[in-house]
Amino acid sequence: MDSFRYVGAALVSTVWVLMGQGFAVSRYRKRAKIDYPQPYAEDAQVKANRDALLFNCAQRAHANTLENIPIIWATTVIVGLHMPVLAASVCGLWSLSRISYTFGYLTGDPKKRSTPLYGAGALGSLVYADKAEVQASRDAYLFNCAQRAHQNTLEVLPSILIIILVSGITFPKTSAAASLLFLASRVVYTRGYVSGDHRKRISILYHLNTLSVLGACLLVNVRS
């Protein structure tokens, strides 16, 4: 598949986007004098220093890209197996849209992040409600619960996608069943979290999903 090299080039373009965003984050962190491991500048820092605002904007643009990129990688590879030119074109356009999105954010006006090139998309957030808001509002606490459930899914998703794709080559039905179990377990996990009691996020379905993932890994290792 000679055309699949275009898919590889498109995927590499996403790496350049991430590297560029990472450079912007480091640059504005240094200029704003935000010490590690503080993920975002606080309100007082933003009001006192415009570089702190730009640091937050760069950090958020980078975080949003990290949220979306596992899905972009997976769909690009899967579609690319059958329609490599189309997959590479869409992935390349996505990389360009991320550049536009980032430069829009770095104006200091978050509204400018959504350009025609960026298009429509659901934007998540990795910013947590601060402790004062949580204490004053149950909705702020539930926001943190929903946000943590979302972030946890993003943390495990790359590994899950790789395991499903690799095991699916040899055991397609088992892999498909494991992926459906993962989706169901995430629904239950999220509903448990947004109940307001984080202990309810762990269910029998959650443990079954963990076992199925381990089983898929063992099957691949045994077969190989």
Domain residue spans in the chain? 1-121, 132-224
pLDDT at 127: 35
Query: pLDDT-derived band of residue 212, with 50, 70 and 90 as boundaries?
Result: confident
- Domain 1-121 sits in CATH 1.10.10.10: no
pLDDT of residue 174 exceeding 50, the answer is yes
Q: Model pTM greater than 0.85? A: no
DSSP H helices, 108-137, are: 131-136
* CB half-sphere exposure, 142, CA atoms < 13 A: 8
Kindly report which listed range (44-48, 158-162, 192-196) carries the lowest average pLDDT score. Answer: 158-162
Q: Which of 112, 7, 105 is nearest to 62 (CA)?
A: 105
What pLDDT does residue 124 have? 28
For residue 121, what pLDDT band results from cuts at 50, 70 and 90? Answer: very low
- Is a pLDDT exceeding 80 seen at residue 190? yes
User: 137 pLDDT band (50/70/90 cuts)?
Assistant: low
3-state secondary structure of 151: helix
Give the pLDDT of residue 39. 83
Task: Quickly tell me which residue has 């770095």 as its tokens.
Answer: 106
Distance separating alpha carbons of residues 81 and 154, to the nearest angstrom:
24
Whole-number mean pLDDT of the chain?
78
Give yes or no for a contact between 212 and 181, defined as CB atoms under 8 angstroms apart.
Answer: yes
Question: Which pair of structure tokens corresponds to residue 213?
Answer: 């993932």
In the prediction, which pLDDT does 173 show?
84
pLDDT at 128: 38
